[in-house]
């Protein structure tokens, strides 16, 4: 996942180790209503295929969570994933048993892995420090999206001054507010695909106490009103459902 940006991924992937298992969580990177559901379906199926290929085992997910409405072809999910999917949830993720972390990789080759990693580091001047800094800040913001920690609080946790942290972020071509906006935008895009949530609820769960402020921010991020994006996402889900019947 560390080098996912170089694989042409249309979603952002992250791994979370929960008490219940290992979760591969997916967040939309772009607003692409015409293919949003397809991206998630393809990513989930790929994650399962990769897990089976790496372990050499007929792995089955413990849980499959999908943020969009249940499509007409939902039964095919049970056939492919061999588990019952949950739709209209707050996050897209596929969860596996933690025991997979103890399994040896059937295709492991340390020499090839080292060579590939070196090649990836060279691509576009891969910056490990930037990745670790930004991903760390994203994790902290994600935990408290309604009330993100201040830059001073984050600096204290890193044992550096606020000024130093701000400078490091700016050196990476970002700002702390931009990181917060990215996380809120990603959450909003997921939630707008659920017709069981009002726009006010989407706004609240995306970190906004005022619906008007949410509308203005969303328009600035995407160039579209949240109601327009929701209509596009829901229409796409319906069209995809009909297209497979």
Q: What would the 3-class secondary structure string for 135-162 be?
A: HHHHHHHHHCCCCCCCHHHHHHHCCCCH
What pLDDT does 3 receive? 58
What is the Cα–Cα distance from 220 to 22, expressed in whole angstroms?
Answer: 35
- Token digits of residue 198: 């009002």
What pLDDT does 130 receive? 56
Average pLDDT, the chain: 82
User: Do residues 218 and 185 touch, judged by C-beta distance below 8 A?
Assistant: yes
Whether the per-residue pLDDT at 32 is higher than 90: the answer is no
Q: Which of 11-15, 29-33, 90-94 has the lowest mean pLDDT?
A: 29-33
What is the Cα–Cα distance from 202 to 226, expressed in whole angstroms?
Answer: 9
**Long-range Cβ pairs for the range 55-58 (8 Å, 24+):** 55/100, 55/103, 55/105, 55/106, 56/106, 56/107, 57/103
Say how many CA atoms lie within 13 Å of 196 toward its Cβ.
Answer: 8
Whether the per-residue pLDDT at 12 is higher than 60: the answer is yes
What pLDDT does 242 receive? 40
Whether the per-residue pLDDT at 23 is higher than 80: the answer is yes
Q: Taking residues 58-76, what's their average pLDDT?
A: 90
What pLDDT does 241 receive? 43
What pLDDT does 123 receive? 54
**pLDDT single digits (tens) 100-143:** 888 888 877 788 777 777 766 665 554 555 567 888 898 889 88
**SS3 state at 200:** helix
Nearest alpha carbon to residue 11 among 45, 49, 52 = 45
Name the pLDDT band for 6 (thresholds 50, 70, 90): low
Q: Please name each of the domains of the chain with its CATH number.
A: 4-102 (no CATH), 128-237 (1.10.10.60)
Whether the per-residue pLDDT at 201 is higher than 90: the answer is yes
Q: Which of 110-114, 184-188, 201-205, 231-235 has the lowest mean pLDDT?
A: 231-235
**Tally of residues, the chain:** 245
């Amino acid at each position: 996942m560390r080098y996912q940006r170089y694989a042409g991924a249309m979603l952002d992937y992250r791994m979370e180790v929960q008490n219940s298992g290992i979760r591969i969580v997916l967040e939309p990177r772009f607003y692409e209503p015409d293919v949003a559901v397809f991206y998630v379906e393809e990513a989930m199926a790929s994650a399962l295929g990769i897990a089976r290929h790496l372990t050499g085992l007929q792995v089955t997910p413990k849980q499959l969570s999908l943020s969009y409405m249940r499509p007409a072809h939902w039964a095919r999910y049970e056939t492919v994933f061999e588990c019952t999917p949950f739709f209209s949830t707050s996050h897209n993720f596929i969860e596996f048993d933690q025991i997979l972390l103890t399994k040896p990789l059937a295709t492991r080759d340390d020499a090839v892995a080292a060579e590939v990693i070196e090649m990836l580091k060279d691509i576009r001047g891969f910056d490990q420090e930037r990745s670790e800094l930004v991903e760390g800040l994203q994790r902290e913001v994600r935990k408290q999206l309604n009330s993100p920690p201040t830059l001073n609080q984050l600096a204290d946790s890193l044992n550096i001054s606020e000024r130093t942290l701000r400078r490091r972020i700016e050196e990476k071509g970002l700002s702390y507010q931009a990181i917060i906006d990215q996380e809120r935008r990603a959450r909003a895009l997921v939630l707008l695909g659920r017709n069981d949530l009002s726009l006010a609820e989407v706004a609240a769960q995306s970190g906004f106490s005022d619906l008007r402020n949410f509308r203005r921010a969303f328009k600035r991020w995407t160039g579209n009103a949240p109601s327009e994006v929701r209509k596009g996402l829901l229409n796409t889900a319906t069209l995809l459902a009909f297209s497979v019947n």
